[in-house]
């Protein structure tokens, strides 16, 4: 059992132990055919060299599965690298713009105990306003590298600057020559919480810098997904998920009607001002790691350590582990198999294991 958890349920120790031993739920059997107004989803038998038996392969004409969400997207996007953008999350930056469109949102701690987001977009063709954008930190840089993304930020710490320079990571930076092409300031807000971008500016910046838009040949997928929405067959109740980074304590509440987790922070619902709606996520992943003090109040994360965590979906949670393999963070269920998440967007909490915690109700 993970020590950093405060379990607020009435489960007995025996019931909890049985849940942990049961592990994650098995995938449901896929139906033989389904039709939509857009296309037909076909299930075909296929043989492979490693497994000569028939296996089910789901296809949909004109579409492929988004490797970041497990959902169908237009086939033209299959090999497109994602944009990974730094988003301000201090209270003065509320409400944020456009972040509800992100496929994955990482929340990690920065100096002063506050957090910033790394919002990841596979399809960035229809973003009207996105921000406010803030400066780079090294562990966000490495997360972008794991995803083979194009890093988008406004400024950087010295260590992040050195890491970007030494690795040659493709990046769009607000204090470099492409700044006026990629970013603008919203005069209705005050600096430094007023830097924004949009689809046209991001695309113009990529063209200006001459970056490759498709994945590099050595790219390896990070996440695994169920073929359809699947309840956890074991696990414990997670109607409320309270996250603590220390004094900063956001939380999620499960909405059974939409089967998503709605996001709260600073004592109220977190809203995207472009939609007027509360942020909501199909999957929540919480992992514990070590934040190393590198001086001047700044942190870095040693991703190579691995650790424990939780996967939360459809009103339940199960323990998981994470490992650093092939230059990526990979997630595993209690049986040691790759974690299969439900199709949909995800929020990933990267919590300090000395001062942070997660609790469930």
Q: Which two tokens stand for residue 109?
A: 């701690």
With the C-alpha atoms ordered 59, 62, 67, 72, is the resulting torsion angle positive or negative?
negative
1, HSE (Cβ side, Cα atoms, 13 Å): 14
Q: Which two tokens stand for residue 145?
A: 């590298």
Pairing of strands 346-352, 283-289: parallel
Q: CA 61: distance to chain centroid?
A: 27
What confidence score (pLDDT) does residue 71 get?
A: 98
What confidence score (pLDDT) does residue 26 get?
A: 36
Q: Domains of the chain by range and CATH?
A: 5-22+224-273+301-360 (3.50.90.10), 83-209 (3.50.90.10)
What confidence score (pLDDT) does residue 218 get?
A: 85
Query: Do the Cβ atoms of 182 and 197 come closer than 8 Å?
Result: yes
- Report how many helices (DSSP H) and strands (DSSP E) the chain contains, helices first: 5, 31
Residues of the chain whose pLDDT is less than 50? Answer: 1-3, 5, 7-39, 43-55
CA distance 345 to 69: 6
DSSP-derived letter for residue 130 is: B
What confidence score (pLDDT) does residue 58 get?
A: 82
CA distance 325 to 303: 10
Q: What are phi and psi of 99, to 5 degrees?
A: -75, -15
Radius of gyration of the chain (CA): 20
Q: Which two tokens stand for residue 63?
A: 């579409």
Q: Which helix (H) or strand (E) holds 347?
A: strand 346-352
pLDDT tens sequence across 252-304: 999 999 999 999 999 999 999 999 999 999 999 999 999 999 999 999 998 99
Instruction: Identify which of 148, 153, 122 has the alpha carbon closest to the alpha carbon of residue 138.
Output: 153
What confidence score (pLDDT) does residue 300 get?
A: 97
Instruction: Identify which of 193, 195, 44 has the alpha carbon closest to the alpha carbon of residue 114.
Output: 193
CA distance 94 to 79: 33
Q: Which two tokens stand for residue 232?
A: 């956890």
First to last CA, the chain: 17
What confidence score (pLDDT) does residue 253 get?
A: 98
């Amino acid at each position: 059992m993970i020590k950093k958890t405060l379990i607020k349920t009435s489960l007995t120790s025996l019931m909890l132990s049985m849940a942990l031993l049961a592990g994650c739920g098995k995938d449901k059997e896929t139906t033989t055919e389904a039709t939509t107004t857009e296309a037909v989803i076909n299930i075909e038998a296929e043989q492979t060299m490693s497994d000569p038996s028939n296996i089910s392969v789901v296809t949909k004409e004109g579409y492929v599965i988004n490797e970041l969400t497990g959902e169908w997207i237009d086939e033209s996007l299959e090999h497109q690298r994602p944009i990974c953008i730094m988003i301000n999350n201090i209270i003065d930056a509320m409400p944020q713009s456009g972040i509800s469109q992100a496929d994955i949102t990482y929340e990690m701690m920065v100096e002063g105990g506050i957090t910033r987001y790394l919002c990841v977009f596979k399809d960035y063709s229809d973003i009207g306003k996105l921000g406010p954008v803030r400066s780079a930190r090294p562990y966000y840089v490495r997360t972008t590298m794991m995803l083979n993304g194009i890093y988008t930020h406004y400024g950087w710490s010295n260590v992040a600057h050195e890491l970007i320079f030494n690795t040659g990571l493709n990046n769009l930076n607000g204090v470099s020559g492409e700044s006026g092409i990629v970013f603008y300031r919203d005069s209705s807000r005050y600096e430094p919480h007023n830097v924004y971008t949009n689809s046209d500016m991001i695309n113009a910046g990529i063209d200006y810098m001459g970056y490759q838009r498709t994945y590099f040949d050595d790219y390896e997928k990070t996440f695994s997904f169920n073929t359809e929405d699947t309840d956890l067959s074991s696990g414990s109740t997670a109607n409320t998920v309270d996250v603590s980074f220390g004094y900063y304590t956001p939380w999620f509440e499960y909405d059974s009607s939409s089967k998503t987790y709605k996001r709260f922070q600073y004592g109220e619902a977190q809203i995207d001002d472009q939609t007027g709606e509360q942020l909501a996520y199909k999957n929540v992943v919480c992992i514990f790691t070590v934040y190393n003090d590198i001086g001047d109040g700044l942190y870095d994360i040693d991703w190579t350590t691995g650790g424990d965590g939780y996967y939360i979906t459809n009103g339940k949670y199960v323990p998981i582990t994470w490992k650093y393999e092939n230059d990526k963070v990979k997630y595993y269920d209690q049986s040691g198999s790759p974690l299969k998440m439900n199709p949909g967007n995800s929020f990933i909490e990267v919590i300090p294991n000395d001062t942070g915690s997660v609790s469930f109700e």
